Amino acid sequence: MPKTGHFILHSNVLPKLTAGHYELVSEQSGTPFDVAPERTHVTVAAPRYVMPTDQILSTFPPANAEGAFGDRLPQIVLKRRTLPWERNPAEQLQPSTTPWLALVVVAEGEAQLSAATPVAQCITSGTTLLEATEDKDVEQGLYLAVTETVVKKIFPCQQDLELLVHVREVDINDTELANGDDDGWLAVVLANRLPVFDIANAKPVRYMACLVNVEGQLAALPPPEPPDDHFTFELAQDWTVLASIDPHVGPDPRVMGGIDIGNIALPAAGGILGAQPPGTMAAAQATSALSRSPIVGTALDGAATMKETPAAQQWVSATEKVAKVALDPDAKRLVRDTMASGFRYPIELFAAEKVYRFPVLAHWSFTTNEGATFETLMQDLDVGLLGTIPEPAADAPPAPPGPEVVQTGHIGLDHRTRRGDPVRAWYRGPLVPFPTDRDPAGDGRPRLAHSADQIRRVVPDGREDLSLAAAFEIGRLLGLSQLSVVSALLRFRGEQFGAGRVREILSKFTAFKLPELVDQRIDLGRFVALEVIGDLVKNPADMLGPRRPVADPGRELVVKGDLDAVIADGLGFDLEAVRKIGQEVGILAAVTQAQVPIANREGQVQLDQRAIAGLRGALSAELNNVLGVAAPNAGRRATVPGAPRAARDARDALDALIERAAARDDADQEDA
Amino acid sequence: MERFVSAQIVLEATVAAAQDYTDLVVDHDPDDGDHVVPGELRRFLARLRLLHGVPFSYLVPDADLLPIESIRFFYIDRAWTDALVQGALSVGTITTADRAQLEAVYPKIRDDVDEAERTIRTPRGEERLQGAGGTITGFLMRSRVVSGWPNLHVRAYSRDVLDDDALTTAAEADPNRMKVLRLERLAPAVLLVLFDGVPAVIHIEEPRQGIQFGVRLNPADPPAQRHAKVKVRDNLTGDPVPPKETFTAGNSVDVPFRRGAPGVINLVELRKRLAAKAPNSGGALEANEYALQMLRFPYRQVFGDPDDLEGQKFFDLDKFKATISLTTWKATIAANVDKVKP
């Protein structure tokens, strides 16, 4: 395998068998019994009407490109090295060094690319192919319809075919040469025509390159002729006039005749100068005989060239059209179709001479839009340093004065100051004609400006130099134009120094030494908390105050009067009676027997009218309170009758209960 | 020890923090290493340094500075691009503390961006550059070349390392090749290129779209009489026959065209003419030899000092030919080793 950047060229790589159906018969002899021969069928498949897209590695010029391709031969690179020799164009079984593929380059208006057509009709009628019905890779294909004149002018000769195809062997790791091929062997098919620029009219020319199948039609190819050392660009045959025919005329009148094609002159047959072989002459005579009895409307033979060719303007947007349809979901089909626009003139219907059909396996179009060569353009470039103006030639006509440019690269521009004074100021962009000093102060420490006004300068001639101030403003606006940048800047400032700032502030308030901030993350809050807790624990009396005793002393019980009388009074029984019985049965039994008054007996409720009135008053006050909050006006009226008015705002039993519960909670916690 | 927080304390703390803790790295990038400035910000500022987004009229203030069909070389004014970055950094600095902090950290930002601007454009297969760059130079080209030949190939060398028309891929990987920091078509016909350093030689080549075949059209011909030539190559080595610069009767042939056809080459005749002139052809050309003759390499325009022929000696690897067989050489080595052994 060749090294990266190198390649090896081979003339051809012939397969052992051409494409087709084969029968393999194996017979065995010399055995004492008969052995039936084994018959196996083998099919060698190869593309015939359509080139599978995975076999096309690259094309030059690139499809739909516009550029200066005038001095380069278009080419198509195929992945399988044997592809161009897998069929014998002379319709024989054995492989031949003459390839069956040719790359034909037609300019717009020279030929017709068909729509999808059954493959049997994709070839000139009367041509017989080997296994025409069995060996076909697709049902429908495209064909290129070209008049005999065009074939004679631009198709390669039979002898050329061999020279136009070669095999290239490259290193598969070489991205530029191998371009993603799998084995590093590539078959290259060259065209025989330079896609030149129309220098005379200074007009871009749109070309279509077609990879055609020349099987069975070698005889149609032009014979070798004595050469010329120069050429002129003109279309081999200009059928663009057909674009001016009313497109609404149906196909029937076109075929049957009788369309008024007006004053359009159709291109004449013939045109190849010099000696023609007798056969061609005869054909040409036959053609001219045909043209004398026109099949379409008026006379077909008009040798005059057309002045006005509306279709010729199609090139203007052809590239854009293709780029547009590439966005369509059905792009694969549409792109090919749109690239063929401009190559769809119905030449077959109008041509008076013989029209050949060649199956097209692949096609793409491109535009030559530049007549000059890279070399001349580069050599004619005006070379200089930016910020300098070329000296006008001595004999140049007096030109209006150019911009005010000085040797430092500064340019004088009109400047309107903030006060409105019209003055001139100096400006110099970032691109300067000589190396400049980055830090003019020279102390090595970069200076930072916070606003554009800081870097306005006044130069010795009294004018302001606004270069850096302008740069500052542009940078500020570019930064502001992207929200993500603004937020990144703010986040950067916050995050980068947040920890440092906190540490510095803390250090002013803490007695202990804070840790140094290094690479690993330090949780300052936790550090300070731990330090503070440590201090708290060490001397709690100073930090937190005196300790509380473990338990509270109990409350002193105060009893006024005789203890027995107080208890008996509290329980509601008769002390004297108990004492009297106690003398007989003992005090304990007497207490047991004593009758204690119970508020409610079982099964009956004694309502204390005073208590009910109090509860009702409390309920009414609470209701009013709630209603007063919910509906301030309505609440006034909804009072419960009989409730004391004073109770409305008084503290009620619930408040007292809550207060008691809260007080108890506090007490519990203190005890814990 | 202070009792309460005042503005004075905050300002002092901010300045102290900005001065003492700028080394605290916030951005840990597995590709880029650790940096003070976060990656997104660093890349934005670096792109700004390479003049991404700067309006063209600020680069070239007057059309006369970049006329039609011209190329203008320049140095980048670092003070200008620094001002650009400072403008972007000034966004959102409101308080004195913000500015004090920005001032303290600015040297770090500048160093980080110096480093980042060399990694903004890293084509596949090109190693990342470490460290900060120095001078940035470049050129603006306004020409039909830019629009007619998209994907121009631009290379710069710090020394004139090879012949202007040397056909070798080794020049791609030459250590003297300078990094292209930015290569962009600003308009259909305007190309901006920035180099990392000051090149001695700049090559601008036609785009390489695979290998091409073709002829040389004579641009001076009248439209009705166009001629073309093909240079003859040595059939064994593929080298063009000298002289390289000019077409002579000895080193080129006229391309024969088919009579009356627009630009169709008469291949049979061309093959005959090439076979007659090409050295070592043996009087006939195979298809591959014919392809070799028709090879067209991209045209290379070289900008540099034409008198500077210092050039380091450059050896084509493919010119190396073994003069001794491997087995013989092994035997020689073995014999010598035996002599040395005690």
CA distance B330 to A166: 40
Closest CA of chain A from B37, distance in Å: 7
A-B Cβ pairs (cutoff 8 Å, strict): 443
CB crowding B267-276: b at 16 or more within 10 Å, else e: bbbbbbbbbe
Nearest by CB: B1 against A6, A490, A509: A509
- B1–A436 CB contact, under 8 Å: no
Please give the DSSP secondary-structure letter assigned to residue B226: B
The pair of three-digit structure tokens given for residue A325, joined into one six-digit string: 């349809």
CA distance B236 to A93: 35
Given CB atoms, is A392 within the 8 Å cutoff of chain B? no
Give the residue from B35, B50, B53, B47 showing the smallest Cα distance to B109.
Answer: B35
Contact B105/A494 with Cβ under 8 angstroms? Answer: no
Given CB atoms, is A379 within the 8 Å cutoff of chain B? yes
Residue A273: predicted pLDDT: 38
Nearest by CB: B223 against A200, A467, A492: A200
CA distance B216 to B245: 13
Q: Residues, chain B, total?
A: 342
- A479–B87 CB contact, under 8 Å: yes
Name which of A13, A161, A235, A378 to mutate to probe chain B: the one with the most chain B Cβ atoms within 10 A of its Cβ.
Answer: A378
- B82–A446 CB contact, under 8 Å: yes
Residue A427: predicted pLDDT: 93
Residue A251: predicted pLDDT: 59
Region at A221 (left for phi over 0; alpha for psi -120 to 50; beta for the rest)? beta
Given CB atoms, is B84 within the 8 Å cutoff of chain A? yes
Measured N-to-C along each axis, helices B7-20 and B96-116 cross at an angle, to the nearest 10 degrees, of: 10
Residue B321: predicted pLDDT: 57
Judging contacts by C-beta atoms under 8 Å, the chain A residues touching residue B150 are 65, 67
> Which amino acid belongs to residue B235?
N
- A479–B266 CB contact, under 8 Å: no
Closest CA of chain A from B312, distance in Å: 21
Given CB atoms, is B241 within the 8 Å cutoff of chain A? no
Given CB atoms, is B215 within the 8 Å cutoff of chain A? yes
CA distance A669 to B7: 42
Nearest by CB: B144 against A154, A227, A370: A370
Residue B22: predicted pLDDT: 66
Judging contacts by C-beta atoms under 8 Å, the chain B residues touching residue A382 are 67, 69-71
DSSP characters for B317-342?
A: GGG----S-HHHHHHHHHHHHHHH--
* Beta-carbon count within 10 A of A652 CB: 16
Closest CA of chain B from A132, distance in Å: 30
Instruction: State the distance between the two ends of chain B, measured CA to CA, in whole angstroms.
Output: 82
Given CB atoms, is B26 within the 8 Å cutoff of chain A? yes
The interface pTM score, or ipTM, of the predicted complex is: 0.79
- B223–A503 CB contact, under 8 Å: no
Q: Alpha helices, DSSP H only, in B233-325?
A: 267-277, 287-294
Given CB atoms, is B253 within the 8 Å cutoff of chain A? no
Closest CA of chain A from B36, distance in Å: 8
CA distance A382 to A379: 8
Q: Which residue of A has its CA nearest to B261?
A: A153
Contact A108/A233 with Cβ under 8 angstroms? Answer: no
H or E stretch covering B71:
strand B70-76
Residues β-bridged to residue B252: B231
**Sequence-distant (≥ 6) Cβ neighbours of residue A664 within 8 angstroms:** none
H or E stretch covering A347:
helix A347-350
Judging contacts by C-beta atoms under 8 Å, the chain A residues touching residue B70 are 381-384
Given CB atoms, is A93 within the 8 Å cutoff of chain B? no
DSSP characters for A397-444?
A: PP-----EE-TTS-EEEEEE-TT--EEEEEE--SEESS---S-TT-SS
Name which of A230, A272, A404, A411 to mutate to probe chain B: the one with the most chain B Cβ atoms within 10 A of its Cβ.
Answer: A230
- B210–A452 CB contact, under 8 Å: no
Nearest by CB: A12 against B204, B287, B318: B287
Residue A263: predicted pLDDT: 57
Closest CA of chain A from B332, distance in Å: 29
**Sequence-distant (≥ 6) Cβ neighbours of residue B77 within 8 angstroms:** A428, A429, A430, A431, A432, A436, A467
Q: Which residue of A has its CA nearest to B168?
A: A5
**Sequence-distant (≥ 6) Cβ neighbours of residue A68 within 8 angstroms:** A197, A368, A369, A370, A371, A372, A373, A374, B148, B149
Low-confidence ranges of chain B (pLDDT < 70): 1, 22-26, 124-125, 161-173, 208-210, 245, 305-323, 342
Sheet with A56-60, edge to edge strand ranges: A7-10, A165-170, A185-190, A75-78, A56-60
Given CB atoms, is A382 within the 8 Å cutoff of chain B? yes
Query: Tens digit of pLDDT for each residue in B161-173?
Result: 666 666 555 566 6
Give the residue from B255, B178, B156, B243 showing the smallest Cα distance to B214.
Answer: B255
Judging contacts by C-beta atoms under 8 Å, the chain B residues touching residue A449 are 83, 86, 90
Residues β-bridged to residue A166: A188
- A60–B210 CB contact, under 8 Å: yes
- A67–B148 CB contact, under 8 Å: yes
Given CB atoms, is B167 within the 8 Å cutoff of chain A? no
With H, G, I as helix, E, B as strand and everything else as coil, classify residue A242.
helix
Residue B313: predicted pLDDT: 41
Q: Where are the beta strands (DSSP E) in A56-197?
A: 56-60, 66-67, 72-73, 75-78, 101-107, 112-113, 117-118, 140-147, 165-170, 185-190
Give the residue from B51, B67, B70, B69 showing the smallest Cα distance to B59.
Answer: B51
Measured N-to-C along each axis, helices B96-116 and A483-509 cross at an angle, to the nearest 10 degrees, of: 120
Residue A175: predicted pLDDT: 56
> Which amino acid belongs to residue A587?
I
Given CB atoms, is B27 within the 8 Å cutoff of chain A? no
Closest CA of chain A from B190, distance in Å: 13
Closest CA of chain B from A173, distance in Å: 13
Listed by number, the residues of chain A in 2-21 with a beta carbon closer than 8 Å to a beta carbon of chain B are 3-7, 9-12
CA distance A273 to A603: 140
* Beta-carbon count within 10 A of B305 CB: 10
**Sequence-distant (≥ 6) Cβ neighbours of residue A190 within 8 angstroms:** A73, A74, A75, A103, A164, A165, B213, B291, B294
Give the CA angle between residues A65, A68, A73 to the nearest 5°.
85
Measured N-to-C along each axis, helices A467-480 and B39-49 cross at an angle, to the nearest 10 degrees, of: 140
CA distance A407 to A389: 10
Please give the DSSP secondary-structure letter assigned to residue B170: G
Sheet with B177-178, edge to edge strand ranges: B177-178, B153-157, B201-205, B300-304
- B213–A234 CB contact, under 8 Å: no
Q: Which residue of B has its CA nearest to A435?
A: B75
Give the CA angle between residues A638, A650, A657 to the nearest 5°.
110
- B256–A387 CB contact, under 8 Å: no
- B296–A71 CB contact, under 8 Å: yes
Give domain limits for chain B: 7-61+78-116, 212-297
Given CB atoms, is A443 within the 8 Å cutoff of chain B? no
**SS3 track for A255-322:** HHCCCCCCCCCCCCCCCCCCCCCHHHHHHHHHHHHHHHCCCCCCCCCCCCCCCCCHHHHHHHHHHHHH
Low-confidence ranges of chain A (pLDDT < 50): 271-316, 635, 638-639, 643-644, 646-647, 672
Nearest by CB: B44 against A58, A68, A485: A485
Name which of A431, A472, A483, A524 to mutate to probe chain B: the one with the most chain B Cβ atoms within 10 A of its Cβ.
Answer: A431
- B83–A11 CB contact, under 8 Å: no
Residue A274: predicted pLDDT: 37
Instruction: State the distance between the two ends of chain A, measured CA to CA, in whole angstroms.
Output: 91
Given CB atoms, is A250 within the 8 Å cutoff of chain B? no
- A492–B26 CB contact, under 8 Å: yes
pTM of the model: 0.63
The pair of three-digit structure tokens given for residue A415, joined into one six-digit string: 């400047």
Residue A248: predicted pLDDT: 60
Helix-, strand-, coil-residue percentages of chain B, each rounded to 5 = 30, 20, 45
Q: Which residue of B has its CA nearest to A370?
A: B148
CA distance A192 to A155: 8
CA distance B99 to A604: 87
Listed by number, the residues of chain B in 277-316 with a beta carbon closer than 8 Å to a beta carbon of chain A are 285-292, 294, 296, 299, 301, 303
Which residue's structure tokens are 């027997």?
A593
Contact A415/A425 with Cβ under 8 angstroms? Answer: yes
